[in-house]
Amino acid sequence: MEESISHLLVQVCKAHRGCLGEALSQLGLHVGQEMILFHLWEQDGVAQSQLIGGCQVEAPTMTKMLSRLEKAGLIQRRRDAQDARVWRVDLTQRGRALKEPVYRCWQKIEERMLRDLTLEEKLLLRRLLLQMRSNLFEGE
Amino acid sequence: MEESISHLLVQVCKAHRGCLGEALSQLGLHVGQEMILFHLWEQDGVAQSQLIGGCQVEAPTMTKMLSRLEKAGLIQRRRDAQDARVWRVDLTQRGRALKEPVYRCWQKIEERMLRDLTLEEKLLLRRLLLQMRSNLFEGE
DNA sequence: CCCCTATAATTAGCCGGCTAAATGAATGGG
DNA sequence: CCCATTCATTTAGCCGGCTAATTATAGGGG
């Protein structure tokens, strides 16, 4: 199994995570937190449950990440007026300000990773990854 | 960045990890531990530092994982006779017994993930992943 | 021979991620 | 109207992973 595609995939993902983490740490972020911010940059004041769906993360993970983002001053939480069970999440000024630098990080690593791939290769790669994802999601 | 290749890659890897974790938990293993065992199945009695190199993991991570594997009764540690700084890691009987079931898990998920890919697509995918890995490793 | 550096491993402490179980609020049926 | 269910979130506790700092041994040079 040494050089299986699974193993390569894991290695590439780990390397990607490593590079991203290095870049994000210079913005005071930890890798993973950017997914939450991506969603908030698209739509602010969203319910926590929507973030859970969007980031494909479990509820307790989201709770911890949000409380860290809150402590870091990037977001704020408020109770929903209609439904007291839900918490809504708003970006702070500092959270909004990170949008461009984080996008640049992300894009820079994407470009670096796919450096010498042709357009056809990129398109095929995307198609294969989509297929693999649905294979894994669609169970046995 | 919603549908970037990076994002897809992360999602596929996460799904892969999820499936693998589910399968390995039935063998009493946590995802990640299998990498250590893969190396020990190939070569037993190896120094901890070699496992660190092979698994591409930091030393403290290895320390923790090994102590858990030891507590689970899958490995044993002994001091090296020549160099008192190094610890050598041996599989126990129970650790050796997991080889076949874990390989089957791994292979089953590989097959499921690559279900409907042609041989050519698999070869190209492997080549692209190798290229991406070296792109990410080889810095800026 | 002693000190200084390099190396192997560990400890402390953080983060993302998970499951299981608990809390608290909304809601639908009898 | 109340009770059971359902839903949103949190808490506790585990694991893999990391960095920074520590301990302990090995080895080389003056």
Q: Rounded to whole angstroms, how far apart are CA atoms A62 and A59?
A: 5
Q: How many CB atoms lie within 10 A of CB A13?
A: 23
| A80-133 per-position pLDDT tens digit | 999 999 999 999 999 999 999 999 999 999 999 999 999 999 999 999 999 999
In the structure, how far is the CA atom of residue A101 from the C1' atom of nucleotide D15, in angstroms?
Answer: 32
Nearest Cα of chain A lies from the Cα of B99 at a distance, in angstroms, of 12
Does the pLDDT value for residue B131 go beyond 80?
A: yes
Does the pLDDT value for residue A140 go beyond 70?
A: no
On the CB side of A18, how many CA atoms lie within 13 Å of its CA?
16
Nearest Cα of chain A lies from the Cα of B116 at a distance, in angstroms, of 8
In the structure, how far is the CA atom of residue B82 from the C1' atom of nucleotide C5, in angstroms?
Answer: 20
For residues B13-17, average pLDDT: 96
Q: At A84, phi and psi to the nearest 5? A: -70, -5
| A57-71 per-position pLDDT tens digit | 999 999 999 999 999
The span from the first CA to the last CA of chain B, in angstroms, equals: 21
* Set of chain A residues whose Cβ sits within 8 Å of the Cβ of B8: 126, 129-130, 133
Report the pLDDT value the prediction gives residue B140, as an integer from 0 to 100.
Answer: 59
Place of tokens 């913005």: A27
Substitution target from B3, B31, B122, B133 for chain A, most A beta carbons within 10 A: B133
Burial A69-101 (b: 16+ CB within 10 A, else e): beeeebbeeeeeeeeeeeebbebeeebeebeee
DSSP state of B76: E
Q: At B118, phi and psi to the nearest 5? A: -80, 165
- The secondary structure element, H or E, covering residue B90 is strand B87-91
The whole-chain average pLDDT of chain A stands at 95
Report the candidate in B128, B114, B136 with the shortest Cα–Cα distance to residue B56. B136
Report the pLDDT value the prediction gives residue B34, as an integer from 0 to 100.
Answer: 96
Asked whether residue A35, judged by its CB, lies under 7 Å from any atom of the DNA or RNA strand C, the reply is yes
Chain A interface includes B137 (CB < 8 A) = yes
| B34-74 per-position pLDDT tens digit | 999 999 999 999 999 999 999 999 999 999 999 999 999 99
> pTM score, two decimals?
0.92
The answer to whether the CB atoms of B110 and A135 lie below 8 A apart is no
Report the candidate in A114, A106, A112 with the shortest Cα–Cα distance to residue A38. A106
In the structure, how far is the CA atom of residue A82 from the C1' atom of nucleotide C26, in angstroms?
Answer: 10
Q: Hey, which residues 21-50 in chain A have their CB within 8 Å of chain B? A: 38
Option in A110, A112, A136 nearest B12 (CB):
A136
Place of tokens 């970006």: A91
User: A14: helix, coil or strand?
Assistant: helix
Place A3 in a pLDDT band, splitting at 50, 70 and 90. confident
Q: A71 pairs with which residues across the strands?
A: none
Does the pLDDT value for residue A1 go beyond 70?
A: no
| A19-46 per-position pLDDT tens digit | 999 999 999 999 999 999 999 999 999 9
B121 to each of A65, A83, A120, B71, how far by Cα in Å?
A: 38, 50, 13, 42
Does the pLDDT value for residue A139 go beyond 80?
A: no
Q: How many CB atoms lie within 10 A of CB B45?
A: 12
Does the pLDDT value for residue A2 go beyond 80?
A: no
Nucleotide nearest to A60 (CA to C1'): D10
A34 to each of A61, B1, B131, B132, how far by Cα in Å?
A: 14, 11, 26, 22
Does the pLDDT value for residue B2 go beyond 90?
A: no
Identify the residue whose Cα has the smallest distance to the C1' of D14. Answer: B30
Q: Count, in order, helices (H) and strands (E) of chain B.
A: 7, 3
